[in-house]
Structure 1
Amino acid sequence: MISFLEGKIEHLGEKHVILNTGGIGYKVTVVPKLLNILSKSTDIVNPEVTKAAFVKLFIHSQLNMREGTFDMYGFDKREDLELFHLLTSVSGIGPKGAMNILSVVEPKHLKAAVVNEDAGYLKRVSGLGPKIASRLILELKNKVDHIDMGDMKGVDLGQEGQATEALLALGYSQYQAKEALKESRGKTLEEKVREALRLLGKR
């Protein structure tokens, strides 16, 4: 079982990186936010040719018998990997489903939603219906406390917090997200995010 990989980034795909470790290229699926961070740490002239950055990723590996593949999922923080493992322990949520959740929801906010039993917040994730959202809360409520997500005070699960989170997931910084949302005149969550993206695109 592979616990972590250290190496140089050889390629950045839409949902994965190719990590060169000891002359072997490993394809590792990562969430969009991490992919964006890694893209900024590499000097990319051509997506196929990068001046590699040295990174360490904590790995979950799994043999996919149905597709005949050996899949790897990578995280830059051990705590995020632990949360991924908890998500996949929930009936009805596989590795791809867990990555889908972590691609949309910040780990800290996911923990807050579980602790606060906020199923409505979790249902914003595409493909996560009310039954699975409720099951996720039920099965993880007493398991997430040991995962250190830093200071949980001030975690905003309201519309403003969700809009900020959506922008963070796209790779924007906390400062960029907050400033753009200050200027956004949108009333609904979708309008706020769309307007903020328009403003960020001008900068």
Structure 2
Amino acid sequence: MISYLKGAILYKTLDYIILLTNGIGYKVSLPENLNKQLREGQDGVEVHCSLMIRNEETLELYGFASPESLGMFTMLNTVSGIGPKAALAICSLGNPEDIKKAIMERNTNFFRGIKGLGEKKIQTILLSLTGRVGEFDKNRGGSGDEALDALVALGFSRGQVKEALDRIDSSISDSEKRIKEALKLLGGRK
């Protein structure tokens, strides 16, 4: 899994950058507020990344300025009906503390104006995350279990993933192997 990159911006659009690292150009989608701070040709750019798998064949990288921002993105992705693009748009609204505060205060106005995010989805976000923002403070970047976070990011429910990971031989500690074994158990259930 790619979780951190540092390099020079080879190319920049409104939605993503191509980050040149050791001769390889990585396409990294960024929150709008971070993207605006960067310029083409800038060197020493550091991003904390989330690698998402879409349609079982397309890999997409999402980059953030801090582990806290990445953690908020990861948490938003666990909400039913909120995909990485919507989570990225929400992360563009402010820093993780601003988003956390809006969730805790059930501030629906904070989330308005995001394309594709209607009142119903905003309510879903608030209901799903109100009790979990304290968990975000403890973890700051996910659950601490790379396999769990990766499988949840693929669209499986946290409960299904925990159940599958509990059934895997405890001697398997490598995250990649745990993910493969869990995927065998989860099969097509999403």
Q: TM-score, normalised by structure 2?
A: 0.66
1:78-117 map, 5 Å = 78-117=67-106
Aligned-partner residue type, residue 88 of structure 1: N
Q: What is the alpha-carbon distance in structure 1 between the residues aligned to residue 115 and residue 101 of structure 2? A: 19
1:26-41 map, 5 Å = 26-39=26-39
Aligned-partner residue type, residue 67 of structure 2: R
SS of 2:134 mapped into structure 1: coil
**Are 1:75 and 2:98 an aligned pair?**
no
Q: TM-score, normalised by structure 1?
A: 0.62
Q: What is the alpha-carbon distance in structure 2 between the residues aligned to residue 140 and residue 76 of structure 1? A: 22
Note the residue ranges of structure 2 that are not aligned, 5 or more in a row. Answer: 138-190
Structure 1: which 4+ aligned runs deviate by more than 4 Å? none
SS of 1:17 mapped into structure 2: strand
Q: What is the alpha-carbon distance in structure 2 between the residues aligned to residue 76 and residue 60 of structure 1? A: 12
How large is the Cα RMSD of the aligned pairs?
A: 1.8
Note the residue ranges of structure 1 that are not aligned, 5 or more in a row. Answer: 45-49, 149-203
Aligned-partner residue type, residue 78 of structure 2: S
Q: What is the alpha-carbon distance in structure 1 between the residues aligned to residue 17 and residue 108 of structure 2? A: 32
Matched with 1:56 is 46
Q: Is the 8 A contact 2:47 2:66 kept in 1?
A: yes
Give aligned-pair identity as a percent: 34
Q: Aligned match of 2:130 in 120, 141, 156?
A: 141
Q: What is the alpha-carbon distance in structure 1 between the residues aligned to residue 43 and residue 2 of structure 2? A: 21
- Counting matched residue pairs gives 137
1:166-181 map, 5 Å = none
Q: What is the alpha-carbon distance in structure 1 between the residues aligned to residue 37 and residue 113 of structure 2? A: 24
- Once the two structures are TM-superposed, the CA of residue 124 in structure 1 deviates from its matched residue by 3.7
Q: Is the 8 A contact 1:104 1:125 kept in 2?
A: no
Aligned-partner residue type, residue 59 of structure 1: C
Q: Larger Cα Rg: Structure 1 or Structure 2?
A: 1
Aligned-partner residue type, residue 80 of structure 1: S
Matched with 1:11 is 11
